[in-house]
Each structure stands twice: as C-alpha cells, then as structure tokens.
C-alpha cells in the first residue's frame, strides 16, 4: 500500500470514529432530555385535543353543591389592612355553573361545600370545579381538599410546572394549563377541572366512597417567599398577583358532582356514610350533618346509658346544644327505621 493511501485510510478511520463518538454523544444528550420533555405535560386547555375539561352542561354532571361556607382572604395578602375580597357570596357557588355569578375568595381564602348525597369514587373523575376565567392563559388557581367527616381534609397533590422567577401580573395571560395538575381554575369559565378520588385511595381517615365536603383554597400565587404557596414538589405556584380588588383571588362558580351515592339507594347504604357528627374540640355544640333524604332520630345517652335527649333532625346541618350537660363522655345514637349507629363524643367543659 503506498504511504499516501495508508495515511488517507488512517485519516478516514479517525474521522469516522470521531463522528461515531459525536453521534453517540448527541444520542445520549437526546436520551437525557427525553424524561424532561415527557415530564409535567398535563391535560391542555379546554377545546384542545387531550383536555380533561368538562363543559358545564355535560350530562356526566349529575348534581351540584347544595351549601357553601366561605372564609374570605384579603384582597392583597401583602396589605391586609386594605380589606377582604367581597364579590359575590357563598350562594353563588351552589347550584349549576353559570360563569357570571361567582364568589371571590381573595388571597388564600377558602370555600367549603357540601352535597345532597356524598360523592363516591367510581371509575374516572368524580367531581369538577368551575372558575370564571375569560382567557385560557389567565388562570387563577386553587387547591382542592376533600373530607368524609367535615373535620379532616386531604389535599389533592397539586403540580405547577409554571416558571416562578417572574411574577405573573394581574392582567397577564401567560399561564398554561398543560403545566398544571390537580389545581382548580386551570380551565376557562364554563369548563370544570375534574378530580379523581382514586388518587387519594388509602389515606387514613378518608372514605373516598363517601366524600361529604369539598374545600377550595385559593393558591395565593405570589412568588415572594413570605406569601408563596407551594405545590407537591415544593415549587411556588405562580398566578395573577397582586389583585387588590373585591374580586381578588379564585372566583368560585360551582362544584359539579359526577359520581355520588344515589339518592334512591341511600336506604341500602350504611347509615354511617350518610351522617357526619362534628363536635369540634369537645365544645358544647354538636353538629349533625344529615345527608340522607329523610329525617333521622338522634338520641344522646350519658356514660351510664341514661337517655338524656331525643330529637328528630331534618336533612342538612343540624346543631344540637350540649350546653345543659356536664363535661364527660356521651353516646350519640343516630337511627333511621331499623338501621342505626352510635358514636362516642366527649364534652370537655
């Protein structure tokens, strides 16, 4: 082989091996990026293929919240003296979604809703939350929690992969629903954000087949450390802020029920699923929330088994006073026909 040809071949081999190494490096780089590219892409905006948005008149919505209790947050958490959010009232969040009538929660404010009959976990999404956004990129967000006793609430693990280095301003439409998961408000008005109770399966003290309360809590959205609220990955949630107006924060329109304990089969359902008994901190007030369609019989016995009160309660929230009774242990017996259950309560003072 002539010397020149040998050198040429050698050069070609060097070039070839260099380009193979380069290709391999490029491939490794792409492979390294793949998990990042696949990460955190959630359901896109209403109307876009792959969305999970549920239209307000969808036939899968079988019921709506029947009561709502609102705790307003300030219009501007950094200036609490300037007053609280004040648009709408709690009644605006009950009944069907209509986009136009809402209750504004303010920075960090909350709304707790109850239902005609408990929400039940079945295949797929079980309930959905409506806000009144006018632009798919203007998204005021809220955490969603559920409870089966009205006392202990469990938060859906929320994710925000939006940037949190530049504050989203009050007229900013740069938000992106495909970077948000398990946060109410990720869709435009008229389209509900759905939640699947199966995701909370196994949480101690939570009966995902008899959810009595849904709580919506405004994500403050400010990226300053002292006011920020965080997602499950401990990332700051960035949403339009500051909004120092009466309509500050999450604007709750409605909560739609997709799966519920059917009203007609309530009689066959354990009575314990249809009643919640709340005696916060051993106080002298006993709240009995009756989700069954019927009046129920409530008897209270003292520790010696003597009957001390006997009342009929209607559906909905009923407040019974324990005021006349001494501190101590009591038993509350709830009955309907032949079915009943008993719960121990403690009156502290």
Question: Can residue 221 be called a binding residue for Ca ion (CB under 5 A)?
Answer: yes
CB of 84 to Ca ion, least distance (A): 14
Closest residue to Ca ion, based on beta-carbon distance: 221
C-beta closer to Ca ion: residue 197 or 313? 197
Question: How many residues touch Ca ion (CB under 5 A)?
Answer: 9
Pick the binder of Ca ion from 145, 196, 251, 253 (CB under 5 A).
196
> What is the CB neighbour count within 10 angstroms for residue 224?
12
Least distance to Ca ion from the beta carbon of 224, Å? Answer: 13
Segment contacting Ca ion (CB under 5 A): 67-75, 96-104, 180-188, 216-224? Answer: 216-224
Q: What's the min distance (Å) between Cβ of 33 and Ca ion?
A: 32
159-193: burial string, b at 16+ Cβ within 10 Å, e else? bbbbebeebbeeebeebbbbbbbbbbbbbbbbbbb
Distance CA 25, CA 30 (A): 9
Between residues 86 and 198, which has the closer beta carbon with respect to Ca ion? 198
| Sequence-ordered list of residues with C-beta below 8 angstroms from that of 141, at least 6 positions apart, any chain | 160, 180, 183, 184, 185, 186, 218, 219, 221, 237, 239, 250
**Which of 121, 279 has the CB closer to Ca ion?**
121
**Region from 40-48, 116-124, 297-305, 315-323 binding Ca ion, contact rule CB under 5 A:** 116-124
Q: Which of 67, 101, 173, 198 binds Ca ion (CB under 5 A)?
A: 198
Rounded CA-CA distance 119/21 in Å is 58
Task: Kindly tell me which residue out of 121, 159, 238, 290 binds Ca ion, with binding defined by CB under 5 A.
Answer: 121
Q: Work out whether 145 is an interface residue with Ca ion (CB under 5 A).
A: no
Secondary structure of the chain: what % helix, strand, coil (to 5)?
A: 20, 30, 50
CA 240 to chain CA mean position, Å: 19
Residue 57 tokens, joined: 């008149």
Span interacting with Ca ion, options 237-245, 274-282, 305-313, 341-349, rule CB under 5 A: 237-245
Residues 6+ apart with CB under 8 A from 290: 274, 275, 296, 313, 314, 315, 316, 317, 318
Rg (CA), the chain: 27
Choosing from 126, 131, 145, 251, the residue that interacts with Ca ion (CB under 5 A) is 126
- Give 227 or 325: the residue with its C-beta nearer to Ca ion: 227
| 157 vs 337 by CB, closer to Ca ion | 157
Least distance from C-beta 100 to Ca ion, angstroms? Answer: 20
Whole-number minimum distance, CB 112 to Ca ion, in Å?
18
| Strand blocks (E) in 72-109 | 103-104
Query: Which string of x and - marks every residue 243-282 that binds Ca ion (by CB under 5 A)?
Result: ------x---------------------------------
What is the residue whose two structure tokens read 């066959």?
Answer: 268
Residue 317 has φ and ψ, to the nearest 5°, of -80, 130
Contact residue for Ca ion among 239, 253, 257, 296 (CB under 5 A): 239
Give the binding site for Ca ion (CB under 5 A). 121, 126, 196-198, 218, 221, 239, 249
């Amino acid at each position: 082989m002539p010397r020149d040809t040998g050198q040429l071949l050698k050069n070609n081999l060097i070039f070839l091996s260099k380009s193979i190494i380069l290709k391999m490096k490029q491939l490794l780089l792409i492979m390294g990026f793949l998990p990042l590219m696949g990460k955190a892409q959630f359901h896109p905006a209403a109307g876009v293929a792959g969305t999970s948005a549920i239209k307000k008149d969808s036939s899968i919505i079988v019921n709506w919240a029947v009561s709502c209790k609102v705790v307003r947050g300030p219009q501007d958490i950094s200036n609490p003296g300037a007053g609280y959010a004040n648009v709408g009232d709690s009644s605006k969040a009950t009944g069907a979604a209509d986009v136009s009538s809402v209750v504004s929660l303010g920075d960090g404010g909350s709304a707790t809703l109850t239902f005609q009959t408990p929400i039940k976990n079945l295949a797929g999404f079980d309930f959905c939350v409506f806000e009144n956004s006018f632009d798919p990129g203007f998204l005021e967000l809220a955490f969603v929690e559920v409870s089966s006793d009205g006392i202990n609430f469990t938060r859906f693990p929320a994710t925000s992969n939006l940037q949190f280095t530049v504050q989203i301003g009050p007229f900013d439409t740069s938000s992106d629903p495909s970077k948000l998961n398990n946060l109410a408000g990720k869709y435009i008005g008229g389209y509900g954000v759905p939640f699947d109770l199966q995701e909370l399966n196994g949480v101690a003290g939570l009966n995902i087949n008899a959810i009595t309360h849904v709580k919506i809590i405004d994500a403050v959205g400010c990226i300053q450390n002292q006011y920020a609220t965080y997602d499950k990955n401990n990332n700051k949630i960035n949403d339009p802020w500051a909004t120092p107006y009466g309509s500050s924060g999450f604007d709750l329109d409605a909560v739609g029920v997709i799966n519920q304990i059917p009203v007609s089969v309530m009689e066959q359902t354990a009575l314990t699923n249809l009643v919640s008994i709340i005696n916060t901190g051993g106080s002298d007030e006993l709240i009995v929330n009756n989700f069954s369609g019927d009046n129920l019989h409530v008897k209270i016995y003292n520790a010696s088994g003597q009957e001390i009160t006997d009342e009929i309660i209607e559906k909905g929230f009923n407040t019974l006073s324990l005021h006349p009774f001494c501190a101590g242990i009591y038993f509350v017996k709830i009955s309907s026909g032949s079915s009943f259950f008993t719960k121990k309560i403690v009156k502290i003072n």
